[in-house]
Amino acid sequence: MHAPGLCLRDGRYRLLAEIGRGGSGVVWRALDIEARTERALKALPLAAGGAEGAALEVEARVRVQHPGALAIHGHFEEAGAAWLVLDLAVLSLQALVESGDLDSAGQPVAEPLPLPVALHVAGALCDVLASAHRAGVVHRDVKPANILLMSGGEVRLTDFGIARMWADSRTQTSSGAILGSLPWMAPEQRRDPRAVRPATDIYALAVTLAWMLLGYSPAELYVPAAVEELRGAGIPEPVVQLLVRAGSWAPDERMDATRFGEALTALADELALPDGSDADAWAAPGPRSALVARLEARQRRASGDPERSDSSDAGWRDVVVTLLDAWSSWEAIRGEATDLALPPVAPAALTRPPPQERGAISSRELLVAGGLLGAGGLLGAGAIVASAAAVWIALSSS
Ligand SMILES: Nc1ncnc2c1ncn2[C@@H]1O[C@H](COP(=O)(O)OP(=O)(O)O)[C@@H](O)[C@H]1O
Ligand SMILES: [Mg+2]
């Protein structure tokens, strides 16, 4: 219905390429000519109640005054749709974990995230959910496709399209229609949409954390089989216990978002300790290099899009750097025992200086330099020269 090149609002916005689709709309990467920046434009068809959907999403977002909720810059109706003007993200959490391919059984090919990164992402979501719940907003659709990573690596919760606001007759006594997405839905949400409450989002967040660690969503978290599944995957026991608690069948037995966040921080500290043997397997070099390789693969895939601007590549590097920052602080507590054992997956990105030189160049600068080299390889010899210059600048500015 809409196509690249479509101009909206008297030419202020120009659609560049479709970047996502959900249950309610199509999301476009677009140029905001007035603000001289790229945005995401979400189109909700008017014929399918888009005007009401957009109004609800804006209202819920306005109530949640937290930077962890994706910014909405405006909304308007045109060309048969209600449009939301959003900050542009680099990719969704779903796209970070799933490659986009299917295996022989038709299941998405996915790679779990390293524990420190998963705890970091879940902790960021606790902050925004605590704020939403204080404001009387239940998101109702917390899941990997609705969690975005920004060009600075920040985590953002989006899609408040089916959020429910307390004391709001429109959403509180809505029809008996079940809204949400299996298998992220808490048992009370599956039974009765009116039973939804803040604890419903906590359940979905627990499933999301389990999904980040497994690469697929587990059986319902409150059944004994789920515990075995989590343990079987080698997830450290304190994390299993936290998931089981946050995924309790009874909403009252789940902790609130603030407590969940505190528990995640405590776990990250506890498991990072050198003698936290339970977590040793997770701190091994394999998953780290796999994460870098995965981000590089996603970047290569995205670079195939001819409409992408150069600025998007910078966003990819920052996502790598920021996600690995969560890991670096973990390693800083653990000591640097794992550093020297890193395999040569992305040599320029991951090779650290010998111990006596540490501190001269930060791992961040090395990663940026490595990212530039990787991008240069893709773009050809001319770009390699430019990359080398950038590496020289990165090193000489340290
Ligand atoms: N601001 C954004 N930047 C980049 N991609 C986005 C953005 N918003 C949404 N997307 C992508 O589009 C998909 C659908 O967007 P979403 O807001 O969840 O729509 P729906 O309400 O239809 O589920 C997301 O899963 C994500 O992959
Ligand atoms: Mg969505």
**Is residue 340 a part of any domain in this protein?**
no
One domain for residues 82 and 185: no
Atom of ligand 1 nearest to the CA of 24: 22
| Widest Cα–Cα separation across the chain | 66
Number of other CB atoms surrounding residue 219 within 10 Å = 15
**Is residue 193 a part of any domain in this protein?**
yes
One domain for residues 166 and 237: yes
Residues of the domain holding 17: 7-86
Amino acid at residue number 254: R
The whole-angstrom distance between residue 81's C-alpha and the CA centroid of its chain comes to: 27
One domain for residues 296 and 328: no
One domain for residues 127 and 144: yes
C-alpha 113 to ligand 2 mean position (Å):
21
Domain boundary among 64, 86, 108: 86
Residue of 13, 42, 61 to test ligand 1 pocket, by largest number of atoms within 8 Å of CB: 42
One domain for residues 100 and 207: yes
**Is residue 155 a part of any domain in this protein?**
yes
C-alpha 53 to ligand 1 mean position (Å):
14
pLDDT at 275: 54
One domain for residues 180 and 80: no
Kindly report, residue by residue over 271-329, the tens digit of the pLDDT.
776 554 445 444 444 455 566 666 666 666 665 554 444 444 555 556 666 666 666 66
The low-confidence residues of the chain, meaning pLDDT below 70, are: 166-180, 273-398
Residue 208 in contact with residue 125, Cβ under 8 Å?
Answer: yes
- 236-268 in b/e burial notation, b at 16+ Cβ within 10 A? bebbbebbbbbbbeebeebbbbeebbebbeebb
* Average pLDDT score, the chain: 77
One domain for residues 157 and 227: yes
One domain for residues 51 and 107: no
One domain for residues 65 and 121: no
Residue of 18, 52, 148 to test ligand 1 pocket, by largest number of atoms within 8 Å of CB: 148
Overall domain count for the chain: 3
pLDDT at 106: 87
Residue of 39, 57, 159, 162 to test ligand 1 pocket, by largest number of atoms within 8 Å of CB: 159
Nearest CA to ligand 1 atom 1: 88
C-alpha 159 to ligand 2 mean position (Å):
5
Instruction: Residue 54: give its domain's CATH number.
Output: 3.30.200.20
Q: Residues with catalytic annotation? A: 141
Helices 237-246, 198-214: crossing angle, 10 deg rounding: 150
Measured distance CA(391)–CA(25) in Å, rounded: 41
Q: Which residues line ligand 1 (CB under 6 A)?
A: 19-25, 27, 40, 42, 70, 86-89, 92, 145-146, 148, 158-159, 161
**Is residue 1 a part of any domain in this protein?**
no
pLDDT at 330: 60
Nearest CA to ligand 1 atom 13: 20
Nearest CA to ligand 1 atom 5: 89
Instruction: Residue 127: give its domain's CATH number.
Output: 1.10.510.10
Atom of ligand 1 nearest to the CA of 92: 27
C-alpha 381 to ligand 1 mean position (Å):
36
Domain boundary among 22, 57, 86: 86
pTM of this structure: 0.77
Atom of ligand 1 nearest to the CA of 90: 4
C-alpha 193 to ligand 1 mean position (Å):
23
Domain boundary among 36, 65, 86: 86
One domain for residues 78 and 198: no
One domain for residues 151 and 264: yes
Query: Relative to the alpha carbon of 41, which ligand is closest?
Result: 1
**Is residue 230 a part of any domain in this protein?**
yes
Residue 143 structure tokens: 């899941």
Atom of ligand 1 nearest to the CA of 44: 22
pLDDT at 181: 77
**Is residue 169 a part of any domain in this protein?**
yes
One domain for residues 241 and 329: no
Nearest CA to ligand 1 atom 23: 22
**Is residue 104 a part of any domain in this protein?**
yes
Query: Relative to the alpha carbon of 70, which ligand is closest?
Result: 1
C-alpha 27 to ligand 1 mean position (Å):
6
Nearest CA to ligand 1 atom 11: 20
Residue 245 in contact with residue 259, Cβ under 8 Å?
Answer: no
**Is residue 103 a part of any domain in this protein?**
yes
E strands of the chain, at which residues?
7-8, 13-21, 26-32, 37-45, 72-78, 81-86, 91-92, 98-102, 108-110, 137-138, 147-149, 155-157, 164-165
